[in-house]
Structure 1
Amino acid sequence: MTATPQGKANISLVVEALYAVAAEPDRWDQLVEALGGASADGAAQADGAARIAGTVPERADPAAATQAGVVLIGPSGGAIAWNAGGAAAFQQRLGLVEARGLRFFNPANHEALDAARRRLRETAGGQVIVKFTQADDEAPHFAYVIPARALPTALAADLPPLGELGEGVVAVLFPAVETTDRLWATMRDSFGLTPAETRVAARLKDGLTLKEAADDLAISVNTVRNQLRAVFDKMGLNRQSKLVRALTQLGSLSDAFGQEAPAAAISATERGALATAPPIRFFQLSDGRRLAWRDYGDPQGRPVLVFHQGLGCSVLPRGSDVLARDLGLRLIAPERPGAGRSDPRSNFSVQGVGRDMAELAGGLGLGRVRIAAFMSGAAFALMAAAELGAGVDRVLLASVRPSGQMVETEHDAGHPGVLFRRRILRNAWLADTLFALMRMQLNRRGIERFVRAAASAPSDAAYLAAHPGVMDFIVDYIGESLAVTHRGIADEVRCAARSPDLDLSGLSAPISVWHGADDAMTSVDQVKAWLGGRAAETRVFAGTGHFLPHKHWPEVLGWLAEE
């Protein structure tokens, strides 16, 4: 799997391409072409990835979806009781109901629910509307959050007696899909709809077309369109069908209680991960350098060391703090030397970085830890695990990028992101210049083009299209990784190009490998070969490529929380 070292690309072409990137960063594809140099040698790697089916949560009885669903949440965030409708509505659309809490498929939903509970406490309000994001088609799903003691008697069947519930227990009410019209006052208050916008939404919910709504209201179709656009913006929707679905869901519960909602609804979102992340912390190593790190989840929870990808930092997907806390995890997310806010390392090596991370774990008194690593963070995670030895319980490697140069094949031609990695490793002498330019000329347009090119597998492109908030996360993530210097990523490229042998003699923890079946960068067979047969478990995700760590982030944390 390791390529024979090849000659450097034509220097004049590369310099010309670097100037093009400096002038306009989103022209990076010119650099990829210039880095091509000599044609790759060697036969194409066989595409023989074994597809291992993951466990699929058992679905609740579909018939129960016709009932209004209720899930009771205790003060600590755990689900303490639920009825059949609650289990059905949640499991068919949003995630898993567990005794220790709700495990949403989309971790941003954890943050939205946590914000709703906090608003109830702070305002002593009667109810809060929350817009959750669903698992499959990403259509929104609305629910009410109310104090459990305010739950109407008609909805309390099959639940513990309300009078016996302690303080701080809230009820999450998932509507049955049936129609009623008594929700407009709550809609106006929660989403800030004007009376005119409310009238338009009501007509569309009743099945009228835009023209029919305009005729009924005696206004122009253009006015209806403008009002509908305002409704979409305020409710976080983008299609008329989703609006009708949301109003139908809310309508099925609006008669259950006659209280007014707070002034604004809470929506789950993946945007703003950097702004809502825990504060950056610093740990001073024995040689005087500082490692930057963030602390997510339960401070007393099971400790996990999280190793970011190459062009990465300590910012985790939005909702991770609440999800980790609910699962009893403490996520320690350090930034490698020269990345984010961490000081560079003069003698950068996989072994040296592994020792830094082991020193961090010891200095924080973490005790026995678990390790999760993504993409090119895998090599550093393995070395840290070897340094910590018996102090590591288990290791998860997702979307692994093996160190060392790899043969460029015909298959790579359709994947610009793959070509970029192959060629920059082959010409690692350019890493300093390239990433210095990237840092100086960093802009959203250039990052977006780079990311979309990396999403060359159809499943990746579809995931980005369905999750626009992920792009915001990546833009923040890359910007933060280059906030101080480009040294970290440049050092990692040069280190990977040297194809260092990993001394894993001290590693005793079992290694689990998760890989996307559509991952164009590496196959799972190449990953297993790089690990030298050390993988104790391999799981391949169908319909998943480059974005496996983000797409399956809640499953990653669920796996790390397992006993």
Structure 2
Amino acid sequence: MSSVPFHGPADITGQAQEARAPYALLSDVIASLYAYAADPENWEDLLRFTELVDRKEESLSKDLLAEISRHLEEAARLAEERMAQSEASGTQRPPAAFLALDGRGRLLNFNEAMAAQLSPLTGGFEEGAALSWNAREDRKAFEEALKAVREGAGARLVRLNMHAPGAMPVFGFLLEGARLPGMGLALPQQVNKEAAAVFLMPARPLSFDEEVLSASLLGLSPAEARLVGGLTRGLALKEAARALGISPNTARNQLASVFEKFGLNRQGDLIRHVAELMVLGAHLSGARQAPPESDARLYVELPDGRRLAYREYGAREGKPVLNLVPAITGSFLPRRKSEALQRSGIRLIRVERPGTGGSTFDPHMTIQSFAKDLRSFMDALGLERAVLYGSASAAPFVLAAASELGARVERAGLTAPRIDVHLEKDYRNNPALSFYGSLIRNGWLRRGALQLLRQKLSRKVLSGMMQRFFQGAPADAALLKADPALREELLDALYDSLSLQVEGVIRESELASGGYQLDPTQIRCPLHVWLGGEDTQVPLEEAREGIARFSPASLRVFEGEGHLISAARLAGILDELVHAPSKAG
């Protein structure tokens, strides 16, 4: 659907123009909504839509608000339909070059993409005939892989054209035909039903947003797979080494081993081949798009049958720290952070609140009800006492839990805490706060906008929005530029949570709109706070004002740093927190 804004004749009176203004806004709003819903990579129009509505909401009649709400629901339906159509047509599945073999090893079917890639290595393709390889080495490699697959080895990576000096190797996967149904590959029905074995190759280079690296399928060790994964995401070798917490020499040795396994000697060739094979590998192994190195979620069942999801990092027998995370980021933590916690002797337990990540949604959740959930959670894990920590929008939940749990909380820590939401402020020059504020202020808007975002969720959309949000945050933008791995880690965390559900974000927006009821006199443990001097998401003075009534035992400001201290300085802040004095004053 397209929409053209209505602007009326140029010579109409000012009064008439004013009367028509709401309808011009409605047209602009509708145009933004459908532009967002129709384009899989469009994220700008969702922000434009929320900004348009938020600025003019008070001047709109109930009828116009109802009309916008109706179009919001329709746009969400359209986005869902388009994603379903994409899946049905195979446009979101990795297009594969394929050849299928019958039970006697003869060609059953193939496509032009496979013929184009393998013709130089074979004597041609003829249905009903066996493959004829030009080189003995290629025939041996293919027949050995086929024998292994027939014996139940699963999918095997086949390397061809490895013998010719200076020639570019060719890679593909060979697997049993019985594994094809339900795998999500766009292959002819005959192949899915009759093939005894199928050889698959990437038919085109694939974008890095589609990557899922399977170490076992590619014949790499887990350490080699993590290194190659970093390189395919655009990191230089030294940057990838730093992100993985290994020395450059170790990274170079691992890369040399990968070169040897693939028969390559140039990093660019390696990245191209691996990027093309990753998505096929993901489908063959049944993997979904997920953060690299993502540890499995664990669960605690609460007395009413709901479950709280969590992940553990660091030292298993270390000092327990319950980490309440912002609703939009989930419990994922990158490996380099986990290894730093291990060295500090910290057992970090990252808990996902109801409706966030893998935790069961509670439509009646409050900060006080979640504090009671946390008591049950500690009982289930056998934790008599623990340290509490949280950042940004998790801060009210940390304070409520400290109040509810009393002596079971040894001390509490907050980074960039967002305790009070200033609904009266105009944040139009701050895209992140403008978007967040519009969801807080406009109850009718938040569910549709967040569901619409989730239906089109991808790393590319999240990357564009994150870049926009930090445009007005020089300190954070500089940090992300200096540490590319941090940017990827933030995207991993966002996708890890939002891809599962957004109900928790919606509920917490509702709670924030009504303000939090917190009694500072009920918090008996020492409270320690860390702030960024150049934080534009939780501005320094707002943060100071919000936390002052809780009389923190310590408050540290990182001058010249922004909101992302909660991610960039996590290990150091937690180390300070667990070794802080146990008594206030």
Same fold by TM-score, threshold 0.5 exceeded? yes
Report if aligned partners of 1:10, 1:37 keep a CA contact under 8 Å in 2: no
For residue 296 of structure 1, report the CA deviation from its aligned partner.
Answer: 1.6
- Measure, in 1, the Cα distance between the counterparts of 2:241 and 2:416: 24
Query: Which residue number corresponds to residue 31 of structure 1?
Result: 49
Q: 1:394 to 1:231 in 2, by over 3 A?
A: same
Query: Which residue number corresponds to residue 454 of structure 2?
Result: 439
- Measure, in 1, the Cα distance between the counterparts of 2:464 and 2:515: 29
Query: Which residue number corresponds to residue 530 of structure 1?
Result: 546
Q: 1:471 to 1:421 in 2, by over 3 A?
A: same
User: Does 2:435 match 1:329?
Assistant: no
Query: Which residue number corresponds to residue 304 of structure 1?
Result: 321
Query: Which residue number corresponds to residue 232 of structure 2?
Result: none
Query: Which residue number corresponds to residue 424 of structure 1?
Result: 439
Q: 528-537 or 282-291: which moved more?
A: 528-537
Corresponding residue SS for 1:446: helix
Corresponding residue SS for 2:248: strand
Paired letter, 1:463: L
Paired letter, 1:555: G
Query: Which residue number corresponds to residue 142 of structure 1?
Result: 248
Q: 1:525 to 1:447 in 2, by over 3 A?
A: same
Q: 497-506 or 31-40: which moved more?
A: 31-40
For residue 382 of structure 1, report the CA deviation from its aligned partner.
Answer: 0.9
Q: 1:23 to 1:138 in 2, by over 3 A?
A: same
Q: Which of the two has greater helix per residue?
A: 2
**Aligned residue among 453, 473, 481 for 1:465:** 481
| 1:230-272 superposed Cα distances (whole Å, 9 cap, x missing partner) | 69999xxxxxxxxxxxxxxxxxxxxxxxxxxxxxxxxxxxxx9
Paired letter, 2:347: R
Q: 1:406 to 1:541 in 2, by over 3 A?
A: farther
For residue 347 of structure 1, report the CA deviation from its aligned partner.
Answer: 0.8
**Aligned residue among 466, 479, 484 for 2:500:** 484
Report if aligned partners of 2:406, 2:525 keep a CA contact under 8 Å in 1: yes
Report if aligned partners of 2:241, 2:248 keep a CA contact under 8 Å in 1: no
- Measure, in 1, the Cα distance between the counterparts of 2:503 and 2:360: 9
For residue 480 of structure 1, report the CA deviation from its aligned partner.
Answer: 2.3
- Measure, in 2, the Cα distance between the counterparts of 1:402 and 1:546: 15
Higher-RCO chain (CA-CA 8 Å, sequence separation at least 6): 1
Corresponding residue SS for 1:521: coil
For residue 550 of structure 1, report the CA deviation from its aligned partner.
Answer: 1.3
For residue 229 of structure 1, report the CA deviation from its aligned partner.
Answer: 5.0
**Aligned residue among 271, 288, 296 for 1:279:** 296
Corresponding residue SS for 2:522: coil
Q: 1:355 to 1:138 in 2, by over 3 A?
A: closer
Q: Percent identity?
A: 28
Counterparts of 1:357-436 in structure 2, within 5 Å, are 357-409=374-426, 412-436=427-451
- Measure, in 2, the Cα distance between the counterparts of 1:441 and 1:233: 27
For residue 363 of structure 1, report the CA deviation from its aligned partner.
Answer: 2.3
Unaligned runs of 5+ in 1: 1-8, 41-114, 117-129, 146-182, 199-226, 235-271
Q: 1:317 to 1:542 in 2, by over 3 A?
A: farther
For residue 339 of structure 1, report the CA deviation from its aligned partner.
Answer: 0.6
**Aligned residue among 357, 366, 383 for 1:349:** 366
Report if aligned partners of 1:429, 1:494 keep a CA contact under 8 Å in 2: no
- Measure, in 1, the Cα distance between the counterparts of 2:453 and 2:515: 25
For residue 546 of structure 1, report the CA deviation from its aligned partner.
Answer: 2.4
- Measure, in 2, the Cα distance between the counterparts of 1:274 and 1:312: 12
Q: 1:440 to 1:132 in 2, by over 3 A?
A: closer
- Measure, in 2, the Cα distance between the counterparts of 1:347 and 1:232: 48
- Measure, in 2, the Cα distance between the counterparts of 1:138 and 1:332: 21
Paired letter, 1:451: M
Q: 1:13 to 1:400 in 2, by over 3 A?
A: farther
- Taking only aligned residues, the RMSD between alpha carbons, in angstroms, comes to 3.9
- Measure, in 1, the Cα distance between the counterparts of 2:254 and 2:404: 56
Query: Which residue number corresponds to residue 451 of structure 1?
Result: 466
For residue 514 of structure 1, report the CA deviation from its aligned partner.
Answer: 1.1
Report if aligned partners of 2:536, 2:562 keep a CA contact under 8 Å in 1: yes
- Measure, in 1, the Cα distance between the counterparts of 2:514 and 2:455: 27
For residue 293 of structure 1, report the CA deviation from its aligned partner.
Answer: 0.9
Query: Which residue number corresponds to residue 201 of structure 1?
Result: none
- Measure, in 2, the Cα distance between the counterparts of 1:229 and 1:506: 59
For residue 140 of structure 1, report the CA deviation from its aligned partner.
Answer: 9.4
Counterparts of 1:485-524 in structure 2, within 5 Å, are 485-524=501-540
Query: Which residue number corresponds to residue 192 of structure 1?
Result: 259
- Measure, in 2, the Cα distance between the counterparts of 1:444 and 1:363: 35
- Measure, in 1, the Cα distance between the counterparts of 2:254 and 2:311: 38
Corresponding residue SS for 1:36: helix
Paired letter, 1:32: T
Q: 1:470 to 1:428 in 2, by over 3 A?
A: farther
Q: 1:521 to 1:407 in 2, by over 3 A?
A: farther
Counterparts of 1:59-208 in structure 2, within 5 Å, are 142-143=248-249, 189-190=256-257, 192=259
For residue 472 of structure 1, report the CA deviation from its aligned partner.
Answer: 2.8
- Measure, in 2, the Cα distance between the counterparts of 1:461 and 1:18: 28
Query: Which residue number corresponds to residue 165 of structure 1?
Result: none
**Aligned residue among 26, 36, 57 for 1:21:** 36
Paired letter, 2:47: D
For residue 284 of structure 1, report the CA deviation from its aligned partner.
Answer: 1.1
Report if aligned partners of 2:530, 2:557 keep a CA contact under 8 Å in 1: yes
Report if aligned partners of 1:403, 1:497 keep a CA contact under 8 Å in 2: no
Query: Which residue number corresponds to residue 306 of structure 2?
Result: 289
- Measure, in 2, the Cα distance between the counterparts of 1:408 and 1:297: 40
- Measure, in 1, the Cα distance between the counterparts of 2:368 and 2:315: 30
| 1:145-174 superposed Cα distances (whole Å, 9 cap, x missing partner) | 9xxxxxxxxxxxxxxxxxxxxxxxxxxxxx
- Measure, in 2, the Cα distance between the counterparts of 1:188 and 1:483: 32
Paired letter, 2:388: I
For residue 489 of structure 1, report the CA deviation from its aligned partner.
Answer: 0.4
Paired letter, 2:524: S
- Measure, in 2, the Cα distance between the counterparts of 1:37 and 1:188: 53
Paired letter, 1:400: P
For residue 365 of structure 1, report the CA deviation from its aligned partner.
Answer: 1.6
Query: Which residue number corresponds to residue 286 of structure 2?
Result: none
Report if aligned partners of 2:534, 2:540 keep a CA contact under 8 Å in 1: no
- Measure, in 2, the Cα distance between the counterparts of 1:352 and 1:488: 14
- Measure, in 2, the Cα distance between the counterparts of 1:479 and 1:228: 28
Query: Which residue number corresponds to residue 257 of structure 1?
Result: none
Corresponding residue SS for 2:500: coil
Query: Which residue number corresponds to residue 51 of structure 1?
Result: none
- Measure, in 2, the Cα distance between the counterparts of 1:12 and 1:288: 46
TM-score by length of 1: 0.57
For residue 295 of structure 1, report the CA deviation from its aligned partner.
Answer: 1.6
Paired letter, 1:372: Y
Query: Which residue number corresponds to residue 319 of structure 1?
Result: 336
Paired letter, 1:390: A
For residue 383 of structure 1, report the CA deviation from its aligned partner.
Answer: 0.7
Q: 1:404 to 1:12 in 2, by over 3 A?
A: farther
